Amino acid sequence: MKKIYLSEVDSTNLYAKSNIENLADKSIVHAANQTAGRGRLQRTWVNLGEGNLFLTFVLKPSNSFNEVYSNLTQYLSVVLCKILEEYGLKPQIKWPNDVLINGKKIAGILSETVMQGSLFKGLVLGIGVNLNTSEKDLASVIDKEATSLNLEISKLVDVNLFLDKLAEEFFADYDNFLQKGFELIKNDYISRTCFLDTEICVQVFNDKKCGIAKAINDKGELVMSNNQKEFVLTIGDIL
């Protein structure tokens, strides 16, 4: 696995996308500081400064897109949960891939497909984890309640050690995951999911879908029901 270290970049995902031709499959791009982090659904990822993790996995598994690639964000959320559990924490996954501790967001994951015309070039799978942040800086994250690993364990966290562990655990089962798909992690994912069997509303682009979150199906989609009618969501943001 090749590691590219940048002291500062606009976004590790953008860097990986722009340089995908020159980056090997399974490389990782790590920045100490990220000035224009990208988030899901056109949001930004607030820069909480050095001491936090800004990382992108560069993945070039094949020459054409496969459905299973859409589940890589969920695979990464499970990998992260298992690492956080080693710190004695009880992380939860808010569908599709936000990782929370005590209801507060500690990490965000964003996968982007890289195309050149109609050619599939690969994926950039970015993850930001709040590792060392002050309460004061966290207050600048206004859209959601957030937390940071150092605050949860009352200890500073070694960013490089955390990164190495995350990359090692990610690649340990990555090839297997590409073969088997979401079903490989379904139980691990569901056992950490919050909001199942509760009434929720999900923002889906400009639409709001409300109902009971019934299940996560074999494709990692959210199955909901409203007035006895079932429907399935593939994308969205639980409000």
- Smallest gap from residue 56 Cβ to ligand BTN (A): 5
Stretch that binds ligand BTN, among 108-116, 151-159, 163-171, 209-217 (CB under 6 A): 108-116
Given 27, 47, 56, 92, the residue binding ligand BTN (CB under 6 A): 56
13 is a contact residue toward ligand BTN (CB under 6 A)? yes
Site string for ligand BTN, 66-105 (x = CB under 6 A): --------------------------------x-------
User: Residue by residue, what is the 3-state secondary structure of the chain?
Assistant: CCEEEEEEECCHHHHHHHCHHHCCCCEEEEEEEECCEECHHHCEECCCCECEEEEEEEECCCCCCCHHHHHHHHHHHHHHHHHHHHCCCCCEEECCCEEEECCEEEEEEEEEEEEECCEEEEEEEEEEECCCCCHHHHCCCCCCCECCHHHHHCCCCCHHHHHHHHHHHHHHHHHHHHHHHHHHCHHHHHCCECCCCCEEEEEECCEEEEEEEEEECCCCCEEEEECCEEEEECCCEEC
144 is a contact residue toward ligand BTN (CB under 6 A)? no
- In the range 112-141, which residues lie near ligand BTN by CB under 6 A? 126-128
147 is a contact residue toward ligand BTN (CB under 6 A)? no
Nearest-CB residue to ligand BTN? 108
The binding site for ligand BTN (CB under 6 A) comprises 11-13, 34, 37-40, 43, 45, 54-56, 98, 108-110, 126-128
